[in-house]
Every structure is written in structure tokens, then in C-alpha cells.
Amino acid sequence: MTRDKNKLFAFAIEAEGRLVGSISVSRMDNVHLRTGEMGYYIGQNYWNKGYGSSAARQIVQYVFDNTDIVRIFAEPYAYNSASCRALEKAGFTFEGLLRKNAFKNGKLVDMKMYAVIKE
């Protein structure tokens, strides 16, 4: 985890007067300096209310408006249909299947590459 204000853009997600989740974009290194990876999490009691996709849309806007990052991606597990759907709702495009991209609980798991580009 970095404290560099030009590398990590992290926000609490507030709704219904409560903290319901968190979201961040981390700048990549080297030739990928102008790419950011997004991660997000919503507490289970608040799923399927549009908070994840809304937060994703807002952080994309913030990062594109306030930094020189031009590409933001997310890599959900392929089976995580809710995350894939939330990303599509937030304007991300499915770019491809990352076969056996993770090793989780003793199993190789496919992931999906979603990204949004600053036009």
C-alpha cells in the first residue's frame, strides 16, 4: 500500500447515511504508468442497489478529471457475475478472458479483463 497521492486514489462509499464500502484506483508502474487498476467492495447488506456501479462511475470520472491516467481496468473472477455486471453498468468494456489467471483455494480460476478509456 502506498501513501503517494499521485499513485493511490481511494474513497469510502457512503449511502443511506452509512459507510457501505470502499473503492480505489492504483496507478501501475513503468510503461503502465498511465494505467490504473480499480478495486471495490460493497458490504453484503447493500448489494444490488446500484452502489457499486455508481461508485465505479464516479471514481473513473474523478481519476480522468484529476490525473493523467487514461486507462482504468478491473479484473473480476470470471464467475463473479455481479461484479462483471456492475462494471458494464459503469461503462467498462469487456476486453477478454484471462484464462487460469488466479490460483484460489487450490484451484486455477479464470478472470475477466474490463477497462474504460479516457477518450
Ligand X SMILES: CC(C)(COP(=O)(O)OP(=O)(O)OC[C@H]1O[C@@H](n2cnc3c(N)ncnc32)[C@H](O)[C@@H]1OP(=O)(O)O)[C@@H](O)C(=O)NCCC(=O)NCCS
* Residue type at position 80: N
Residue 93 binds ligand X, judged by CB under 6 A: no
Residue 92 binds ligand X, judged by CB under 6 A: no
By beta-carbon proximity to ligand X, the closer residue of 55 and 69 is 55
Residue 74 binds ligand X, judged by CB under 6 A: yes
Stretch that binds ligand X, among 2-10, 35-43, 64-72, 99-107 (CB under 6 A): 35-43
Residue 80 binds ligand X, judged by CB under 6 A: yes
Footprint of ligand X on 41-70 (CB under 6 A): 41-42, 47-53
Q: How many residues bind ligand X (CB under 6 A)?
A: 19
